[in-house]
Homo-oligomer: A and B are copies of this chain.
Amino acid sequence: MVGGGQLARMTHQAGISLGVDFRVLAASAGDSASLVTGGVTVGDERGAPDLLAFAKSCDVLTFDHEHVPEPVLRELEEAGAVLRPGRDALGFAQDKLRMRTRAEELGAPCPRWRAVTTASHVEAFADPAQGGTGWPVVLKAARGGYDGKGVWVVRDADEAAGVVARAAAAEVPLLVEELVAFERELAVQVARSPYGQIAVYPVVETVQRDGICHEVIAPAPGLDEDKAVRAQELAIELAHALGVVGMLAVELFETAGGVVVNELAMRPHNSGHWTMDGAVTSQFEQHLRAVLDLPLGAPRTTAPFTVMANVLGGTDPDVHGRYIHVMAKDPALKVHFYGKEVRPGRKIGHVNVAGDDYRDLLERARDAAAYLKGDQQ
């Protein structure tokens, strides 16, 4: 796996049971996955020389992020490396313009959007007098981003002009999207193997605050059966059409009229962490099965509901001192730490809890995450 973050760490954890000889190319020996894996290569995980050397020691290359540049992926393929997902599929995950164009071709419901290079494009898109969506609108980096961000909600033409100018300076291509009036956010996980086998997980509700996923409820409580089936079908169609191999996470908006595609990721994803303690096959095991072309595992749930809450770092680095209180208070809570140094707002772990009553589970998961952060004493 290319990249040594928490996704690689948890993929290795799952791979131990499968007997996989898991190796990781990580930026440092202190990375989340490097700390717990035997086969660690420290190197430049985005550059051709280190990736080519690493690929020689592996039967299959997969990725814990979307940051390997397309020309490097091409070099790897030309050198005979087996990339899963492949370069073409990864292109859709790396470039929102390509993804949106293809998703629309497939008839997938998407927000209204267009590529923009000037502030007047944004204004034309948004201005009701020109048939636009109305303000505010969402500007997104099609690739990369700047100042650590890739999404900006802009309320008027002036704000739009500021983002467009800074993006242009950073050579970041932009698109504009309507701000969808959603009821809630949903996500679906689907796995696809090279053989074309598909396994789809139940649709989950994701609770975002400040652009960060805070909690996931699996399955999404009270979701209309038709919408749930439509969301799963959409994920399956996208996985096939984009040629995904491995896990695909499809983030969706639930609106009064149905579901609308928001974002895609071609790897294990935060919205699927609940599967570690709530599904027969976790998304990490499933990703490995898929990229190794093994038969896929059952994606079904093992409890009526599972709730995941992300643990963010707070100002006090002593997680351990708080950790034992969380464990003592809720012996059924499953804690997953990433081995990361605590920094305010950084995802340092997550908790899962499974049971019958999602409101109770949500309260317990939130309490634990807040206590671990240090917000709550």
Taking Cβ atoms with an 8 Å cutoff, the residues of A that contact B are 9-10, 12-13, 16-19, 21-22, 34-38, 40, 199, 280-281, 289, 294-298, 300, 302-303, 323-324, 327-328, 331-332, 334-339, 349, 354
Q: Which of B12, B34, B296, B337 contacts A331 (CB 8 A)?
A: B296
4 more A-B contacts (CB under 8 A) besides A13-B13, A22-B36, A281-B331? Answer: A18-B335, A36-B37, A295-B331, A298-B331
The distance in angstroms between the C-alpha atoms of A335 and B288, with both chains bound, is: 13
Q: With the chains together, A164 CA to B51 CA distance in Å?
A: 62
Residues of B within 8 A of A281 (CB): 331
- Min CB distance, A197 to chain B, in Å? 9
Complex contacts, A10 vs chain B, CB 8 Å: 16
User: Please, how many angstroms separate the alpha-carbon atoms of A332 and B296 in the complex?
Assistant: 9
Nearest-neighbour CB distance to chain B for A132, whole angstroms, equals 48
The answer to whether B35 touches A21 (Cβ under 8 A) is yes
CB distance from A64 to the nearest CB of B (A): 15
Q: Which of B22, B334, B337 contacts A19 (CB 8 A)?
A: B337
B17 near A332 with CB under 8 A, answer no
Q: Report which of B38, B296, B334, B349 forms a contact with A36, defined as CB distance below 8 A.
A: B38
Distance between Cα atoms of A16 and B327 in the complex (Å): 16
Could you tell me the distance between the alpha carbons of A180 and B332 in the complex, rounded to whole angstroms?
38
Q: How far is the CB of A129 from chain B (nearest CB, A)?
A: 55
Q: Are A18 and B332 in contact (CB under 8 A)?
A: no
In the assembled complex, the Cα of A298 lies from the Cα of B277 at a distance in Å of 13
Cα A289 to Cα B327 in complex, Å, equals 10
Given A36-B38, A40-B38, A13 contacting B9 (CB threshold 8 A): no
| A327 near B295: Cβ-Cβ < 8 Å | yes
A16 touches B13 (CB 8 A): yes
Task: Give the residues in chain B near A34, CB-CB below 8 Å.
Answer: 38
Quote the shortest CB–CB distance from A149 to chain B (angstroms): 29
User: Nearest chain B CB to A192's CB is how many angstroms away?
Assistant: 15
Minimum C-beta distance from A372 to chain B (A): 11
Q: Within 8 Å CB of A21, what residues of B?
A: 35
Please report the C-alpha to C-alpha distance between residue A125 and residue B104 in the assembled complex, in whole angstroms: 84
The answer for the CA separation of A289 and B333 in the assembled complex, in Å, is 13
**A91–B332 alpha-carbon span in the complex (Å):** 33
Closest-CB distance, A11 to chain B (whole angstroms)? 11
- Minimum CB–CB distance from A296 to chain B (whole Å) comes to 7
| Contact between chains at B22 and A16 (CB < 8 Å) | no
The chain B residue sitting closest to A37, CB to CB, is B38
Shortest Cβ-Cβ A-B pairs, 8 listed: A19-B337, A295-B328, A295-B327, A298-B332, A298-B331, A17-B336, A13-B16, A16-B36
Task: From A327, A338, A354, name the one whose CB has the most chain B CB atoms within 10 angstroms.
Answer: A327
Interface hub of A17, A22, A300, A334 (most chain B Cβ within 10 A)? A17
Complex Cα–Cα for A324 and B8 (A): 23
Residues of B within 8 A of A336 (CB): 17
Q: Nearest CB to that of A278 among chain B residues?
A: B302
Minimal Cβ-Cβ distance residue in B for A15: B36
**How far is B164's CA from A266's CA once the two chains are assembled, in angstroms?**
65
Residues of B contacting A297 in the complex (Cβ-Cβ under 8 angstroms):
327, 331-332
Instruction: Report B-chain residues with C-beta under 8 Å of the C-beta of A13.
Output: 13, 16-17
**Min CB distance, A217 to chain B, in Å?**
18
Q: CB-CB < 8 A to A354: which residues of B?
A: 280, 302
User: How far is A35 from B19 in the complex, measured between Cα atoms in Å?
Assistant: 10
A324 lies within 8 A of B295 (CB): yes
Question: Shortest Cβ distance from A7 into chain B, in angstroms?
Answer: 13
